[in-house]
Structures are given as C-alpha cells and as structure tokens.
Amino acid sequence: MKILFVEDDAVNRRVLKAMVEQAGSTLYEAEDALRGLDMIEHNSYDLVLMDLRMPGMDGMTAIRKIRERSDEKAKLPIIVVTADSAPGLRANCIAGGADDFIMKPVSMATLFDTIAKTMMAKGVAIAL
C-alpha cells in the first residue's frame, strides 16, 4: 500500500513511517500541504494521512483542494492525523472532506484499524 503522510514535523513522519513499513506498506512524506498536493498531482497513492496545522496551507484547505479535483484523485481516502483536540473538530474534518480522524500520539493499533476501516468503506480490501 502506498501512503502519503503530509506532516510538517519530521519526528511524527519518522514514527509513522516505522509503523507503516513494519506492516509492509510504503510511506511517502511531504513536509507541508503544498508539497503534498504536488506529490498527489504527480504520483499515485492509496491513502493520504493529513496533519491539520502546518505552515503555509493548513490541512483542511489541502483536503478541500483534493476533493475539488475533477479526476479520480478527488476520491483519495484521507485520514486526518492531529494533536488538536478542539470540540467538534472531528465532525468538522469529516464534513470538510476527510474520511476519518486520528488523534496524536498515534498508536499502531489505532492507525491500522482506522486505515482498514477507511479502505473498507471505499470498497478496498487490504491486509495490514
């Protein structure tokens, strides 16, 4: 499985990369939303993990831009990964185009369960 993680914090990227690779998938990294959108434009991914708070463009704006596309990439499964615990944030993210939501710090079990649930909802069976 090819997963793009859009996250400005290098430590967070490294931690999730180790988890994903342990499961036999590949994690590609974008250090900000603009780079993430560029990588989506030029590559194919099975899933996007998106941080919300990044310098420049925030994650919700990036999600909206993905959903506004006129091609198949508009349907990319997107899971928000955030440390923000504001009331109603999960519902706002889902309403804004995210498929699911994970709080940091991310446990391996939560990550894999959420990915599996998201992919099943999109009609894609996966083994993690």
**What's the token pair of residue 83?**
């440390």
Q: Which of 19-23, 33-37, 43-47 has the lowest mean pLDDT?
A: 19-23
| 106 is a domain residue | yes
65 vs 128: which has the higher pLDDT: 65
Residue count of the chain = 128
| 33 is a domain residue | yes
The rounded distance, in Å, linking the Cα atoms of 98 and 96 is: 6
- Using the structure block, give the residue that is written with the tokens 């590609």: 28
**Does the pLDDT at position 126 exceed 80?**
no
Q: What are the tens digits of pLDDT across the range 64-102?
A: 999 999 999 999 999 999 999 899 999 999 999 999 999
Residue 123's pLDDT band, with cuts at 50, 70 and 90, is confident
The SS3 assignment for 107 reads: coil
- Give the CATH number, domain containing residue 115: 3.40.50.2300
Report the run of H or E that residue 118 belongs to, with start and end: helix 108-121
**Does the pLDDT at position 16 exceed 90?**
yes
**Number of C-beta neighbours around residue 79 at 10 A:** 22
Domain count, the chain: 1
| 127 is a domain residue | no
Task: Please tell me the predicted confidence (pLDDT) of residue 19.
Answer: 95
In this prediction the pTM is 0.95
| 6 is a domain residue | yes
Task: Please tell me the predicted confidence (pLDDT) of residue 109.
Answer: 95
DSSP assignment, residue 83?
Answer: S
| 128 is a domain residue | no
Residue numbers of the domain that contains 18: 2-121
| 21 is a domain residue | yes
DSSP string, 27-64: EEEESSHHHHHHHHHHS--SEEEE-S--SSS-HHHHHH
The rounded distance, in Å, linking the Cα atoms of 50 and 94 is: 12
**Does the pLDDT at position 128 exceed 70?**
no
The rounded distance, in Å, linking the Cα atoms of 1 and 47 is: 8
